[in-house]
Amino acid sequence: MTIVRYPIRIMLLVLTYAMVFLPTHVSPVAALSAEEILDDPALEARARAISQQLRCLVCQNQSIDDSDAPLAKDLRSLVREQLQNSKSDTEILDFLQNQYGAYILLEPPISSSTWVLWLAPVMIALFGSGMILASRHLKSAPPDTVLPISTPRTSFRPRIVFLMCFVVLGSALGVHQFIGRPDLPPRPLGRRAEEIKILKDTAQAQQRALRRSFVEARAATRLSPKDPAAWYHLSRTAAALGDSETEINTLKQAIALDPDALALKSLLAEAYSRVADEQITLPARALIDEVLSIDSTEPRALFLRGLAAFQDGDYTGAVQTWMQLFKYSAPDAPWMPMVRENILRAAAAGDFAPPFLPDPAPIAKMTDVEQ
Amino acid sequence: MRFIFLLPLLIFGLLAGITGFALFSTLSGTRQVEQLPSVLVERPAPDTRQPNLTEGAPEVDLSHYRGQIVLVNFFASWCVPCRAEIPMLQSLAKDLTVIGIAYKDKVQDTKAFLTRFGNPYHVVGVDLDGRTGITWGVYGIPETYLIDAQGNVLFRHAGVVDKVLIENTLRPLWETAG
């Protein structure tokens, strides 16, 4: 009878029981590999038990027993090693807590900063039972003596549900607007197959042409190995192919033949940075300093010095360096838009107002040498 | 009691407020979630004696550097962000003794890394199996520890050292300590 009358209550009851009594931490197969397991089954069992109490600090919501992270593996083998040195469980846990803090324990000990965490479930349960009792009381009260007729009691209130939906949807939309990805392409990839094929074909044709010019340039260096221009040309074709190692080697050859060519050194600095994920490395910085100490207006070196400052987080320095480049360059120099953009970016990153920049001039085509 | 029906809405609002505050302070960067706290701060740095990266050179023993302010930097050739902070460590080397610990890295890889990206370190110790890392509480490199003249840890930073960190945090710390 009651089951038929109160299906929702029964369901809620079952759910509550499930939440209380089902283990919340159902451990999958441990990440343990065969060679880690100890020969002594009793020690191994203790090792597993300890590992399950320790947080993997890389994944942070897994125990080291579950985690495949290298640090978790190191910690597991440390636990086993300590057990073999006949350390007690508490000694091992204390040792690790001493290195990493209480955070390494998946169950935090009760302390001044964690008692809220531990007491919260009890408080919520008390509050909930209080609410239930209160509503019982309201219901059992004789309706027209205590409460005015209009007082809402247990009836379904569509207006509140409507309001709640509105609030939830509204805030969800707000969050999506803030952290969502409005920049993703609006069209799915599948519908652009044709477009992609054309792009691919052109890219392949370009690649073939680049490879041809690389082979020709290499032949030229074999014909005249003492000509820095030939080496320089080969380095450019290697760069166009994306072969940075060859680019660096050929630039070094060119510099060895023509030690005074500052532009070559700037190019080499740029190549060093390209193989280092665009980080301006120390060898690159040394080259930049060398070039600028001879010619303080060499544009590529100036640009790279600004970039180095930017990467160091020295945004004022970056803007100052790039402003110099801005001043020394012709207003229609091909790198001007990039410099302008970088100055604005550095000012934004450093949170200060960008300096006054005159309006961009139409861009002159980059000559081969500048390329 | 008339407005008791508003109570669920109120509770919801409160929860939404708390989580919203946490979310937005994380997004805006005022709340740090990516750094785990270090328990080593204000405690003596762990005893550290590591083989020297240069074969034949004497062991790297941290206790030999008592009396000077030392920056201990855990790095590896396989760690991409470690490349980015090398110029910064180089600039710090003017004011401090910067000691590198090559964490779980092959010796020849570390050497190739330092040739390619530059070597900002006064000396480099080798921590092949990562055990020294564990005694320092390292959980993800790059990690950097500032140690005062008495051998106590002043500060730990997990992540790339940049100019802002140096000027706003590290420099004031070592200037008051030294």
Compute the nearest-CA separation of A47 from chain B (Å). 18
**CA B45 distance to own-chain centroid:** 13
Rounded percentage of chain A residues whose pLDDT exceeds 90: 22
Compute the nearest-CA separation of B137 from chain A (Å). 5
CA distance B146 to B157: 9
Q: Is A349 on the interface with B (CB under 8 A)?
A: no
Instruction: Give residue B84's pLDDT.
Output: 87
How crowded is residue B52: how many other Cβ atoms within 10 Å of its Cβ?
A: 15
pLDDT tens across B30-54, in order?
Answer: 666 667 778 888 889 999 999 999 9
What's the whole-number average pLDDT of chain A?
Answer: 82
Which of A7-11, A129-133, A175-179, A334-338 bottoms out in mean pLDDT, i.e. has the lowest? A175-179
Whether A178 and B136 lie within 8 Å, measured CB to CB: no
pLDDT tens across B88-131, in order?
Answer: 999 999 999 999 999 999 999 999 999 888 899 999 999 999 99
Whether A78 and B134 lie within 8 Å, measured CB to CB: yes
Instruction: Give residue A134's pLDDT.
Output: 82
Residues 6+ apart with CB under 8 A from B102: B53, B75, B76, B77, B110, B124, B125, B126, B127
Whether A279 and B84 lie within 8 Å, measured CB to CB: yes
Whether A57 and B162 lie within 8 Å, measured CB to CB: no
Chain A positions in Cβ-Cβ contact with residue B38 (cut-off 8 Å): 101
Tokens linked to B152:
């106590």
Q: What ipTM does this complex have?
A: 0.79
Closest Cβ opposite residue A179 in set B2, B27, B91: B27
Of A138 and B86, more confident: B86
Of A141 and B163, more confident: B163
Whether A285 and B87 lie within 8 Å, measured CB to CB: yes
Q: How confident is the model at residue A274 (pLDDT cuts 50, 70, 90)?
A: confident
> What does the H/E/C string look like for B88-128?
HHHHHCCCCEEEEEEECCCHHHHHHHHHHHCCCCCEEEEEC
pLDDT at position A32 over 60: yes
Instruction: Give residue A1's pLDDT.
Output: 46
Rounded percentage of chain A residues whose pLDDT exceeds 70: 83
CA distance A42 to A136: 54
Domains of chain A (ranges, CATH numbers): 34-104 (1.10.8.640), 200-259 (1.25.40.10), 262-371 (1.25.40.10)
Compute the nearest-CA separation of B143 from chain A (Å). 13
Tokens linked to A92:
């091992």
- Domain ranges in chain B are 1-33, 49-177
Compute the nearest-CA separation of B84 from chain A (Å). 6
> Nearest CA to A255 among A289, A274, A231, A271?
A231
Coil/strand/helix, residue B48 = coil
A165: nearest CA in chain B?
A: B9
Closest Cβ opposite residue A74 in set B88, B130, B164: B130
> Nearest CA to B118 among A286, A108, A109?
A286
> Nearest CA to B132 among B75, B58, B54, B65?
B75
pTM of the model: 0.61
What's the whole-number average pLDDT of chain B?
Answer: 89
Which of A27-31, A308-312, B147-151 bottoms out in mean pLDDT, i.e. has the lowest? A27-31
Amino acid, res. A132: I
pLDDT tens across A175-188, in order?
Answer: 766 655 555 555 55
Asked: is B49-177 a CATH 3.30.200.20 domain? The reply is: no
CA distance A73 to B16: 38
> What is the full DSSP assignment across A314-369?
-HHHHHHHHHHHHHHS-TT-TTHHHHHHHHHHHHHHHTSPPPP-PPPPPPPPPPTT
